[in-house]
Chain A
């Protein structure tokens, strides 16, 4: 950081001191924020990893079945089977504030005619593998949404942690030492000024006394 030159005055000294106090308090608060964010982030990211592994496994299984179904059925039939879904999904999103990071909380509602009635086609002209594929996708779906929420939160928190860490470091290694340096500089300068004033006064006093003595001597002579 560029060395900013300050006026060595008492007013400036008070200002720098109050700035230092604020910086130290800010540093402490940000450090606490960083630690707490990190603690939550690590919990969340572990969950994220676990969810992702489960979801990827689930999708892989579903895809395998889907490929089987596609192999058995002809293409137009498969397309029409999945063309008109019975179920509709809507998500409501609320923001939750965690250490000043807004993370999404998702809640989904499925509008389906009956519980577990997810098949959008008659069973007569479709392969059983397709049923399995759709069912396994449906089973994994709550986790899929949880993963979305979790992964987004992780990403947002990672950004915030990075920012906070930079702020903490900037305060600790740049701002606070800079204020301390300036306070030291001003106190030294003020002390120096005071000493020089004192010496000047003493010198003047000496000269005046000397003059006085000389005048008295002249009178006596």
Chain B
């Protein structure tokens, strides 16, 4: 059995706590990196939702977990708005697989 973690700034993430997901509040890049490492390497989490803003600070760290089956690191928009990073990730995998973007150019 696995848990689900949500990390990001307090305002974006606190609501998920009510659903029973584990929340971690981080603002600083260093802190974010440390928290993410702890979460990802613990093996207890199937999914780690991370706000786009926090993910932007540690994109290299997140990339390491792209090839592993678990945990799935999923970007969600934060309180400050949608930066389009999440959808860009989907776009990137299409480009990787197909060679050019055939899904999003409509």
Contacts and interface: CB of A to CB of B under 8 A. Distances in A.
Interface in B1-50: 1-4, 11-12, 14-21, 46-47, 49
A154 B24 CA distance: 26
Contacts of B12: 63
A20 interface: no
B18 A134 contact: yes
Contacts of B11: 63, 66-67, 70
Interface string A69-83: 010000000110011
A167 to B, nearest CB: 14
A182 interface: no
A87 interface: yes
Given A45-B103, A95-B69, A159-B66, A90 B19 contact: no
A85 B19 contact: yes
Interface residues of B: mostly helix, strand, loop or mixed?
Answer: mixed
10 contacts: A56-B77, A60-B81, A66-B15, A83-B17, A89-B19, A90-B3, A102-B69, A104-B46, A151-B72, A152-B72
A42 B94 CA distance: 8
Interface in B81-95: 81-82, 86-87, 89-90, 93-94
Contacts of B77: 56, 59-60, 63
Closest 7 CB pairs of A and B: A152-B72, A158-B93, A87-B20, A158-B97, A161-B97, A89-B20, A148-B47
Contacts of A90: 1-3
A21 interface: no
Contacts of A183: none
A120 B66 CA distance: 34
A144 interface: yes
Contacts of A85: 17-20
A106 interface: yes
Interface of B: 1-4, 11-12, 14-21, 46-47, 49, 66-67, 69-70, 72, 74, 76-79, 81-82, 86-87, 89-90, 93-94, 96-98, 103-104
B98 A151 contact: no
A87 B66 CA distance: 30
Contacts of A66: 11, 14-15, 79
Contacts of B96: 158-159, 161-162
Interface in A140-156: 141, 144-145, 147-149, 151-152, 154-156
A83 B14 CA distance: 9
A78 B14 contact: yes
A125 to B, nearest CB: 15
B46 A106 contact: yes
